[in-house]
Structures are given as C-alpha cells and as structure tokens.
Structure 1
Amino acid sequence: MATVELRFSAQPEHVRTARLVAAAVARRAGVDEAVLDEVRLAVGEACSRAVGLHRSHGIVAPVRVALNEEEKSFSIEVGDEVPGTGSVASAVPGVRSVPGPGGAEPSSDASADGEDEMGLAVISGLVDDVEVTSSESGGVIRMSWPTASATVLP
C-alpha cells in the first residue's frame, strides 16, 4: 500500500512538485540525508520520462507516482500508460527488466528509444535497485533505497 500516491497531468511543470514530494516523504521514511538528492534526481528523471512518453503518444491519462514506506526500505514507483515502455530497459546495464502480463512489444521509434535508454541509464546511475516492468497497459519504474531502520549498528 502506498504511503503517498500522486497523479498529475503529463505536463513538465508538474515534475518539480513530484520531486519535492518524493524528497519530503523519503526524509520522513528515514532515507539518509546524503541520498536525498539522488532520490530527487531519480524521481525527476523517471517522471520526465513518463511525461515525455505520454505527450509523444498523445495519452491524456495522468502519470502515477506511488511512494511506499516499508519496514527497511523506501520505494518509488513511477507509472505511465504507454504500452511497451519498458522494452529498452534490457539494453541498459543495472536495470532489471521484467515483462508484465502480455509481454508488450518493443517500441519502433528509434529516437524515442534513444531518449528512453538515456533516461533509464541516468536512473540506474543514481539508484542501486531499479526495476522496469512493462505490459500492454503501460510501464512502471520501481526504485528503492534502504532506510535508517535497515542499517544495523554494531
């Protein structure tokens, strides 16, 4: 269950709000202060990617962001409504690509794939635990970070 869930129209100006909310919820969840900039940047990149995909495919559905506080980790899921958006994830080192139900077809737009691959590469450089899933109903980027409760002191 999401601690906080955001839905916003696919407009670039809403990405900043998503970044600010993500950083605030991550701080409250116990994510190390030194990592908060990475959280903010990764969420910004994932949301910008989702906004770009929605706009380029003419999708009017909102971008979804779920911020989840778990016992020893904090995770963020950024979802889009574009079929097959996780198709390039397998080409990006450090990103686990998991096909969703129905295993969506790869995109045929080479320039969009290049931008998508670059965005995923940036995210994988910021976050150690990244998973991209895709299906016929859209894609999700799931990122997670350990919280202070996950750190065991001697």
Structure 2
Amino acid sequence: MATVELRFSALPEHVRTARLVAAAVARRAGVDEAVLDEVRLAVGEACTRAVGLHQSGGIAAPVQVTLIEEEKQFSIEVGDEAPGSVPGGASGVASDAEIEEDEMGLAVISGLVDDVEVIAGEHGGLIRMSWPTTPPAVALS
C-alpha cells in the first residue's frame, strides 16, 4: 500500500495543486483514464469545502489530503479541523447561503463518486472517496 500525504494552507489557490496531485497519483495507481476528470472534480469540491470551513471558522490548521493506493482501489481522504464540519465553524452559525453551498458541494461529490463517506466529528471532518483500479498490463515478449 502506497500513501501520499498533502497538507496545505486553507487558501483557495492551493486547491488546484491538490487536484493536480490527486490526478497524477490516481493515474499511477491504475484508476481508469476516463475517470480521472471525476477524481479531479471530486477532490476539488472536497478541498474547496475544507478551505471554506477553515476560513469561516477562523482555523489556521492546514487542510489534509491523503492519497492511498491499495491493491484494487485508490482512495482519497480530505480532512478538515472544523468542529462538527459544518459551515460556521465552532460557532455553528452559518448563513443559509453557506449551508446551501456546503450541501451542494457534498451532492456534487456524491454524484461523481460511487464510494464516498462523509464523517463529521467534534475535532473535524473527513471525506473519504474510493475508485477501483486496474492492474497495469503485463507485456509479453
């Protein structure tokens, strides 16, 4: 099992880097080429959500992205440190627009990824997404 960990400051400009790294590692892991756009989009949504939660909650900790390459699947975990992982951070006070945007982002992720799990806890949240991989073709000589 190979793992790549990425941590970045909760700034929107770093989301693009996370998407590029995720797509590169997914390709290397054997995720079907036709699915790579979905991987990029899902990671972008999850990272954008984490950045928004950190910014609205005044959280200085970095957003964490873990890319896990296993024998038959590739998983990505995007973690935040927002208590309860709801818009508004620790105060839990969020505008209707923030809540709607958060729900829309989660709906987009669910539409892109068949195997997705969203976990919210008092110390932060985690979005875990998985895709099947195909082993590399063996060249016969």
| Fold shared per TM-score above 0.5 | yes
d(CA) in 1 for partners of 2:83, 2:118: 13
Shift of 1:108: 4.6
**Residue aligned with 2:5, SS:** strand
Alignment of 1:2-151 (within 5 A): 3-85=3-85, 107-109=92-94, 110-149=96-135
Aligned 8 A contact 1:132 1:139 in 2:
yes
Equivalenced residues, count:
132
Farther off after superposition, 62-71 or 1-10: 1-10
d(CA) in 1 for partners of 2:38, 2:118: 18
Shift of 1:111: 3.0
Aligned 8 A contact 1:5 1:66 in 2:
yes
d(CA) in 1 for partners of 2:109, 2:120: 17
1:3-60 Cα distance to aligned partner (Å, 9 max, x none): 1000000000000000000000000000000000000010001000100110011000
TM-score normalised over the length of structure 2:
0.88
Q: 1:55 to 1:143 in 2, by over 3 A?
A: same
d(CA) in 2 for partners of 1:21, 1:118: 24
Structure 2 unaligned segments of length 5 or more: list them.
Answer: 136-141
Matched with 1:92 is none
Shift of 1:112: 2.2
What is the alpha-carbon root mean square deviation over aligned residues? 1.9
Q: 1:73 to 1:8 in 2, by over 3 A?
A: same
TM-score normalised over the length of structure 1:
0.80
Identity %: 78
d(CA) in 2 for partners of 1:108, 1:148: 44
Shift of 1:85: 1.5
**Residue aligned with 1:3, SS:** strand
Shift of 1:86: 6.3
Aligned 8 A contact 1:86 1:132 in 2:
no
Aligned 8 A contact 1:74 1:145 in 2:
yes
Aligned 8 A contact 2:84 2:120 in 1:
yes
Q: Which amino acid aligns with 1:79?
A: G
Q: Which has the higher helix share?
A: 2
